[in-house]
Structure 1
Amino acid sequence: MRQFEKILVVVDPRSETQPVLERARQIALVTKASLHLLALNPRYEKYSLRGLDTLIKPVQDREIELHIHETWHRNAIETINHVQQMEGCQLVMKNAREEGVLAQAFGKPEDWQLLRQSRVPVLLVKDGQPWRTHMPIIAAVNADREDIGHIQLNQAILEYAGYMVKAFNGELHLASACSTQMQAIQDHGDGLDSKQSYMNICRGYARDFHLNINHIHVKAGAAETVISKVVKKTGAELLVIGTHARKGISAMAIGNTAEQLITETAVDMLVLQPIHHMEPLETELGRVR
């Protein structure tokens, strides 16, 4: 069972609105996780911690164990990763950052960098309103059975989604997109086209994770388009999705599906990388100290 015992919450002292704090409080009260609040401040001064008192009021609660960090280590992403590893946090939370068109096209938007470099799941918060009871939670998977690299990632996505469903009494939905071109021409040797094959794979996941068969959404089209439509159709409040670290010119020019969805959906996103599913195993083997 995936679970969070320590959560790193990244706050921006310059911002007047901090929806991530409201979400962090809700998660901490349900999971009993301790919160490590990180204020990114390249001009750290001793007295500046006092200014955080007003900022952290939303998460001050007798039932929440709270730790405050204000520091800077070269840049924002390195600071986040450094504190996460030093404190042993199993989740990083931050406000989803709106990036300009030029930054998305030619630069490396901050959230994209964090998703590629973080060694633990990242929850990007769009809205601080409390999650509803029985809220739909979408697990977005790649159901292409020929893509071996995604099989373990799919398992991790479903495990984390299942944990959130149980913790917050939600409803699990499964979404997967197949290529419109491959749907028409691909035959896996069993007489099935891609959409039928994807549906069979998803039915297998439904059996393994006790998912309502009516909550499977397999559509033809670009992944970001299909998933966005499923989010709107279901009224989902949380999307759990995987991503792969990318390098080179392609990584600079365009993001993968998870990164595109940051700007195309208004829903909170829990993003995983393949490395995340290995950490619990490494812990059991005594390799993580």
Structure 2
Amino acid sequence: MLFSKRILVVLDSGPQSRNALHRALLIAERMVCDLELIWVGKSTPWSGIEADMDALAKTEIRFTQEVVTDDLIDAVCKRWKQDHFALLVKGCDPRHSSRKLLAPRDWKLLRNTPCPVLLVKHDHHWAHGRILAAVNTTTHNPALRANNQGILMLAGFIARALDVPLHAVIATPPAMQGAEPEMQSQVLIDQRAQRCAEKVLSDMNLTVDQLHIGEGPPEHWIPNVSKEIDASLVVIGTHARRGMSAALLGNTAERILDRLNTDILVLRAGLSEPLKPLIKEVDTAVS
């Protein structure tokens, strides 16, 4: 198994650190796994969360603590080489600007962390909302198809574990004159997306409570649907684009961060197959 049953939790003086710690604890209790807590930044280590650390010590969850003085990305990569943790949890930074020369820290984590990344934005219990999987089922790219399956697999696992509704959202491109006939009508485009989604779900033996298919860039359509259904978690994929293309274009998962008011679980392309054994093990244990 590539991934261990350990969760790496990144804490700092940011406003969402307490929520990130609470969310990681809830997941650890459900998965019966250990926590690795790392403190980053120049402020006094563990400041502002002392009471939470005391409460954690009284639980049965095993955890370790470490203060990181290196660059966060370097520290995460070093920890990964030592122990292939199954999930990284961090409080989502308040704002992310694509106009800066250097990418925001959260964007760097999404591009470089070789495991799913959960960015926490609130303290609402997931059991009180809906799980929303954001996919692109019309793609012909094999890697992206596999990523879609991974997103649905993760979202479905979480929805089953919490006994909450699972929704899926698909953003379709606008109709274009002069394109292939099925791309000249928005109705035909949406119908194709519907058929492709139903095929993927059937192949995975997975059922969703509702499919939300609509025209528009993903960074607009997905947040609109998330708000409409009051989602508590959005599961989305990323290509982990780097270099000049990342500087100019970014990734959908990155551009969408500031538009969502939910927690965001991001799955990098290529991680679906390695995650299957762990999800199967945990799914069996909690069912």
Q: Structure 1 length normalisation: TM-score?
A: 0.83
Q: C-alpha distance in 1, partners of 2:54/2:110? A: 28
CA deviation map 1:18-68 (0-9, x unaligned)? 210111121112221211111125799xxx679974452353342312121
Return the letter of the residue paired with 1:30: R
* Conserved 8 A contact 1:187-1:194: no
Aligned to 1:68: 65
- Aligned mate of 1:91, from 84, 87, 90: 87
Q: Report the Cα offset of residue 219 of structure 1.
A: 0.7
* Secondary structure of the structure 1 residue equivalent to 2:256: helix
Post-superposition Cα deviations, 1:96-147, rounded to whole Å, max 9, x if no partner, equal 012354x5453301111110111000000001232234x3101111122433
> Take 1:5 and 1:258, find their aligned partners in 2: how far apart are those partners?
25
Look up the SS of the partner of 1:26 in the other structure: helix
Greater alpha carbon shift after TM alignment, 144-153 vs 122-131:
144-153
Counterpart in the other structure of 2:76 = 80
Residue 145 (structure 2) aligns with = 151
CA separation in 2, counterparts of 1:200 and 1:99?
Answer: 37
> Which residue is 2:225 aligned to?
230
Superposition map of 1:41-52 within 5 A:
41=41
What amino acid is the match of 2:78? H
Of 162, 165, 170 in structure 1, the residue corresponding to residue 164 of structure 2 is: 170
Q: Of residues 246, 254, 258 in structure 2, which corresponds to 1:251?
A: 246
**Aligned twin of 1:19:** 19
User: Aligned to 1:99, what secondary structure does the other structure show?
Assistant: coil
The reply on whether 1:131 has 2:126 as its aligned counterpart is yes
Q: Name the counterpart of 1:197.
A: 192
**Paired residue secondary structure (1:5):** strand
1:71 partner amino acid: V
- Residue 220 of structure 1: CA displacement? 1.1
Contact 2:111 2:242 in 1 (8 A): no
Are positions 1:109 and 2:118 aligned together? no
The verdict on how the C-alpha distance between 1:85 and 1:216 changes in structure 2, with shifts beyond 3 A counting, is: same
What secondary structure, in the 3-state scheme, does the structure 1 residue paired with 2:191 have?
helix
SS in 2 for 1:180: coil
Identity %: 28
2:6 matched residue in structure 1: 6
Q: Which residue of the partner structure matches residue 283 of structure 2?
A: none
Residue correspondences, number: 276
Counterpart of 1:154, as a letter, is N
Is residue 26–residue 130 contact of structure 1 (8 Å, CA) maintained in 2?
A: no
SS at 1:120 equivalent? coil
Tell me: CA distance 1:136–1:282, structure 2 relative to 1, closer, same or farther (3 Å): closer
Give the counterpart letter for 2:175 in structure 1.
Q
CA distance in 1, matches of 2:25, 2:175: 45
1:94 offset after TM fit, Å?
Answer: 0.1
Say which SS state the counterpart of residue 228 (structure 2) adopts. Answer: helix
Q: Matched residues in 2 for 1:19 and 1:152: separation? A: 31
Q: Do structure 1's residue 240 and structure 2's residue 240 form an aligned pair?
A: no
Uncovered stretches (5+) of structure 2, i.e. residues with no partner: 279-287
Question: Aligned pair in 2 of structure 1 residues 117, 43: CA closer, same or farther (>3 Å)?
Answer: same
